[in-house]
Structure 1
Amino acid sequence: MKNIKPYLTEDEQPAYKTLNEVDFSALYSYADYMRFEFEERLELIKGHLFKMSPAPSRIHQGISGNIFVPIYNALKGKSCRVYSAPFDVRLAKKMQDDKEIFTVVQPDIVVVCDPAKLDQRGCIGAPDIVVEILSPGNNKKELINKYEVYEEAGVKEYWIVSPTHKTFFRYILDENGKFQPTKMLTEGEEVTTSIIPGLKLVLEEVFQD
């Protein structure tokens, strides 16, 4: 976290009005993140800031909708909820104070089954399912870091979808808290999960333009 001058209260800390004011070599907390007033979207992973890709492409948006809608329909009448980006997910380790949270991500889609994790600002704690749809702007380091923080936080399932290759990877958290990959899926196959009984994602439909 950045050094804060001792004679300034938290409310007196300066806001960040442009992206140029942000030092990407510094470490930040969620409290810092909340002072960003510019339109550009950033994610915070273990205190490090990452620029998000430009506005998702039409194909990216289409795939997101093709995944979101079946999940939404399958969850009707159930306690789980599904949300799409922009939606802040704060992965707090122990303390839930804004100054003690160093990872804030905006996955494309999340499923949250514990209502206690939801508040006015999004989700605090691990969602049950996280879906990331790859885009040309995705940074390999960012993807590796996300895999690590999702695993450490206890996300039960992490789905990675590639529009370019029309592939669907699913990582499932085992009893030891480690992600185990399922086989790569593609068009002609279906995705189901025990977290959402009755859900059947037909990948031919997911990747349909």
Structure 2
Amino acid sequence: MEKQELKNKVEEPTSAYGSYTYADYLTWQMEEMVELIKGKVFKQAAAPRRIHQDVSGKIFNMLYNFLERQPCKIYAAPFDVRLPGKSKKHEDIDTVVQPDICVVCDPDKLDELGCIGAPDLVVEILSPGNNKKELQNKYEVYEESGVKEYWVIHPNECTLLIYTLVKEKYIASRLFTIGDIVKSNAVAGFELDLTEVFENLQH
């Protein structure tokens, strides 16, 4: 397949092009980051905003320091997380996402390609243009695949919403903001001071 032909397909991901798998994904040579959700291609429109990166960096550092002497591992995008359905074969996997931050506590889920299976914790930081993907498309696949905890952060509004998996369904927390200290159920003992996360952010 010609590179320009593939580029056009990725720019216009519609059902007319059929459903893609991880086997297809591995053949793509794209400059921009793409994700595959239930066989459909989603391309990142632009590089994340600076405020997105500021918040991501703070949370990553806090989690990294907390986990430094623990078996759980933390990763930041770009990092492929494959969410298999009926099997772990490349040609059977139709969802490959790149969470802003994820924590994986089961070493059997890690291989040279990234993570195969649900991380314990996923953190997604909203950016202009990706809200629907994070709040609808990814919510569904994270819930279905068994991600124990899904954090959605709105950096412009300085808020955090936590979805916790209970009996295979997500239960939403209240909306947390500056002044709150939140505790993770998926990463036992970890607490996040949102004042530290959101202070000194310039919108």
Same fold (TM over 0.5): yes
**Counterpart in 1 of 2:13?**
24
Equivalent residue, structure 2, for 1:145: 137
Percent identical residues: 53
Equivalent of 1:185 in 160, 173, 176: 176
2:130 counterpart of 1:130:
no
Number of residue pairs matched? Answer: 195
Partner of 1:109: 101
2:7 maps to a residue whose letter is L
Contact residue 16 and residue 35 of structure 1 kept, 8 A: no
Aligned partner (choices 31, 51, 54) of residue 62 of structure 1: 54
Tell me the distance in 1 between the aligned counterparts of 2:189 and 2:169.
26
**Runs of at least 5 residues in structure 1 that lack an aligned partner in the other structure:** 1-13
SS in 2 for 1:64: helix
Larger-gyration structure (1/2):
1
| TM-fit CA distance, 1:50 | 0.8
Q: Give the whole-Å Cα distance in 2 for the aligned partners of 1:46 and 1:62.
A: 30
Q: Deviations over 1:97-135 (max 9, x none)?
A: 110000000110000000000011110000000110000
Root-mean-square deviation (Å):
1.5
**Does the CA-based 8 Å contact 2:126-2:134 persist in structure 1?**
no
2:86 aligned partner: 94
Please report how far the alpha carbon of residue 204 of structure 1 lies from its aligned counterpart in structure 2 after TM superposition: 1.1
Assess, with a 3 A threshold, how the Cα gap between structure 1 residues 35 and 16 changes in structure 2: closer, same or farther: farther
For residues 68-79 of structure 1, the aligned pairs below 5 Å read 68-79=60-71
How far apart, CA to CA, are the structure 2 residues paired with 1:80 and 1:128? 9
Aligned partners of 1:92, 1:15: CA distance in 2, in Å? 28
1:196 to 187, 192, 200: 187
Q: Tell me which of 170, 185, 197 is aligned to 1:206.
A: 197
Q: Contact 1:159/1:169 (CA < 8 Å) preserved in 2?
A: yes
